[in-house]
Amino acid sequence: MEYTQLGRTGLKVSRLVLGTMNFGPQTDEAASHAIMDAAQASGINYFDTANVYGWGENKGRTEEYIGSWFAQNGGRREKTVLATKVYGSMNRQSETWPNDDKLSALNIRRAVEASLKRLQTDYIDIYQFHHIDRLTPFEEIWQAIDVLIRQGKILYAGSSNFPGYKIAQANETAARRGMVGLVSEQCLYNLAERRAEMEVIPAAQEYGLGVIPWSPLHGGLLGGIIRKEFEGGRRASGRAAEALADPVTRGRVQAYEDLLDKHGLEPGETALAWLLTRPGVTGPIVGPRTPDQLASALRAVELELSEEVLTSLDEIFPGPGPSPEAFAW
């Protein structure tokens, strides 16, 4: 496994990030533990989760699975760089009340204590803001984070789904307080969705944040979806189905699969390998539902794409171009 430094921190993290979103909704506790064991044995040391994962009536279940895995000891927690998130309400829809969500100091304080309990640990390496909060000022957010850092309950703060200007606002506010600020940004970024190249990734690079792309296969669109349909396998759903309904997108995906067939490459592994070539990217998040899916993701780290393939991929899925020229579109 390859390792890199996370932004401007001293943390050494794996070039793949284990996403745990499927633990609970699609993968039971025993299988989740098996995947985490396999990931750690392969050298993946960066695990990502969120307090709301488990979803619906089962919010928090994913963190609980990770906590029960840590409780088996064997150095599991010590070998893991643990990231979780705060923002969404943890209550049932009928039981919401003011201050039970978003990034108020009160919710941050309550949320971190609840996550620590579910995760069965006394600290979180990277505590991430799951979305921007348009109402809470960053002065309040950083005051709450500063308290948690001083208490030893978190080490760093990160963001998720932030636009470039919010990354700048957050870190400028932190700098005025003498704080490190955000150290990572999780953003939607893949071959089929490259708008992060316009502002988010340049802002992250300017402020020294590690970039952690989520949905590297764009909901399965880049995982050989047309081939699977043709072979009678799982049909596209969700984001992938919506995208394939557009003839232009379907044509690009077909060209993508044809290109990889020509070069003897697997679509999912290629999409991950492409992200690993992108400037500023620390490592994409992979969310395996089975050990076999994890094994496929691991092969991507060793895959070297030729210049011919990289050029062809840019032709099929052109990016927006360099900023600020991209804004002339």
Strand, helix or coil at 71? coil
* Backbone torsions φ then ψ of 294, nearest 5 degrees: -65, -40
Question: Where do we find the tokens 């020294």?
Answer: 208
DSSP 8-state assignment for residue 138: H
158 is written with which tokens?
């990160």
What string of DSSP letters covers 141-210? HHHHHHHHHHHTSEEEEEEES--HHHHHHHHHHHHHTT---EEEEEEE-BTTB-GGGTTHHHHHHHHTPE
Length of the chain: 329
Strand partners, 17: 285
Is residue 53 annotated as part of the catalytic site, yes or no? yes
Alpha carbon distance 109, 105 (integer Å): 6
Alpha carbon distance 204, 72 (integer Å): 36
For the chain, how big is the Rg over CA atoms in Å? 20
- The sign of the CA dihedral 243, 247, 251, 254 is positive
Cβ-proximal residues to 146 (8 Å cutoff; 6+ apart), any chain: 177, 179
Q: Of the listed 46, 53, 207, 256, which one is catalytic?
A: 53
Nearest to 220 by CA among 181, 167, 186, 256: 256
Question: Where do we find the tokens 């394939």?
Answer: 244
Catalytic residue list: 53
